[in-house]
Structures are given as C-alpha cells and as structure tokens.
Amino acid sequence: MSVAQDHFAAKWVGASGGEIPPNSFLEGDYAIGRGHFKDGLHIGYVDKGREGLVIGWGGKEEFLREYEVLTGDKSHFHWVECSGTCRPQSNFIPLKGGHEAETNKELYIAKAEHNGKIRIGKAGQAANWVKASGGKVPPISFWEGDYAIGRGHFKGGIHIGYVDKDRKGLVISWGGKEEILRDYEVLTGDKSYFHWVERSGTCNPQSFTPLKGGHEANKNEELYIAKMEHNGKIRIGKVGPDWQSMAYGLDGVEYAASNYFVLAIKNNSRQMDPLLEIN
C-alpha cells in the first residue's frame, strides 16, 4: 500500500563526491540525499568534507560516493513531528524518499538532532499490506498460529481474515457466511511495534490505538484486526469500534466471539523525529 507521493516541486538530481547541486534542500550543514545500497534506496545526508552521502543500514553507518540530492522549492513542504511508530495514513502525506530492498516498504525523509547538529535519515511504516493470491504469503508476514493476517475487497468493503494455503485464498466472514477470496492483501512488516489488547464485549478503542485493517461498504465504519481461539486454533477476523464481538469465518459460517484480542500499536516513548511532508 503506497502512502508517500512524488511532487512537482521536488526533484532528485544525481551527484557524487560531496557535490551539492543548486536549489538543494538543506537542513543545517547538510543536504538531503539518497542512494542505492543492498537493493534498496536509502536516505541520508551529503557530507562535503567526506565527499559523499552518509546513510544508516544494518546497524552501521555506510558511505556512498554516488547519490541523488533533493532539489526544488521547499515552500511546498513542511516537517511533521512524530513519536514512535510512523503512521502517515490518516495524518499526513510524506514525500516519497526511498524504499527497502522489498520495494513495497516505503522509506520517508526524517531528521533529528544529534549532539547539536541536524542529521538526516529515514523512517518507514512498521506495517504494509502486500498483494497476494491463491493462498500465497509474502515474506515478513504477520502470522498468528497457522495463518497469516490478510484482508480483501468484498461487497464494497475491505474485510479482514486469514490466509489458508490449503484452500488457496483468504477466509473472511460476511452476512452470516464464510467467504473465500482468491485475491487479497497480507499484512507484513515489523511485529515488534504492535501488541494484542484483550477485549470483552464492546471494542472501545479509546484506551488504545488499534491498527486500522479495513472498513465496511459505507467507509464510515473502520474495521480492526482481531483474533481468538476456536477448537485449539487461532482464527483471525474483524471487529468494529462499537461491536459487541469480533466476527470470523469458519466451516461456511460467520462466527462471533465476545472475548477476543485486537491488534494495536504500542505506545512508544522514543525521541520525536520530524518527517518531510507535502503541504
């Protein structure tokens, strides 16, 4: 699921050896840059003294002689302060900066202050929805028991369920029945940013931040990712903010469970890092 966007007022210009082209986006002593490394496109800062682009990867600083520099009109952009998990979907539109080796995982332009100097780096979403079909599951999927968390379009809504490899599709529930979808999306990313919140009866998400998974046909009612245990196996389904129970599909039927868990974003007290956003 793509969130970031390109913009007419910004252009990436090739450079090398510490060079900085005209109209570059400068933050403190450094220009914003990006470069190819380990099959990804990673964001960092141009250091003239070291004659290259400084990025971070795999717990280390890396140095690239050839890179691209962000240029254009900065008046079309501003910095958005973030804390912990980056959640741009509902709050802002980040400027597209790069991607991990898995091209579905976007990277955004971020900055922070370190020892009195601004440093430029990257931030990414902790979770992404990746298209799949026929029971296939992409790498780094969110698994619960024997099944990966998925969602799919059905009857005008986006409904949450679980991928069943044997049945070659996504199992969801709708209108009292179990439904199988051949084409769907699978939740991927870093599970360490999330946790399961136990609920009984009404979901009441005011006390925690659920990860939005889908919506009903009218798009006014969000659907969250829920799980429970049925006959010794974990089943994944959906729950709305005011529902009295979660719903999931099994054996041709839509089941309801009043005791369940909702996937939520962890509260994180990490230092706030601003992201570059489109005005």
Instruction: Answer whether residue 279 shows pLDDT above 70.
Output: no
Any residues with CB less than 8 A from the CB of 258 and at least 6 apart, and which?
Answer: 200, 201, 244, 245
Instruction: Answer whether residue 178 shows pLDDT above 80.
Output: yes
Q: What is the pLDDT of residue 190?
A: 79
Any residues with CB less than 8 A from the CB of 189 and at least 6 apart, and which?
Answer: 105, 125, 126, 127, 128, 140, 142
CA distance 79 to 84: 16
Single pTM value for the model:
0.63
DSSP type of residue 246 = E
Q: What is the pLDDT of residue 113?
A: 85
Mean pLDDT across the chain, nearest whole number? 88
- Which of 173, 214, 29, 207 is CA-nearest to residue 113? 29
Beta bridge partners of 99: 41, 106
- Which of 50, 1, 46 is CA-nearest to residue 186? 1
Q: Are strands 52-57 and 177-181 parallel, antiparallel or unpaired?
A: unpaired
DSSP of 32-75, one letter per residue?
EEEEEETTEEEEEEEETTTTEEEEEETTEEEEESEEEEEEE-GG
Tokens representing 153 are: 């379009």
Overall average pLDDT of the 30-59 stretch: 94
Overall average pLDDT of the 176-199 stretch: 92
Tokens representing 263 are: 């996937």
8 A C-beta contact, residue 157 and residue 214: yes
Residue type, 208: F
- 235-278 pLDDT per residue, tens: 999 999 999 999 999 999 999 999 999 999 876 433 335 656 56
- 79-119 pLDDT per residue, tens: 988 766 666 655 678 888 998 886 567 889 999 888 888 99
Q: What is the pLDDT of residue 86?
A: 65
Tell me what percent of the residues of the chain surpass a pLDDT of 90.
Answer: 66
CA distance 133 to 148: 13
Per-domain residue ranges of the chain: 10-125, 128-265
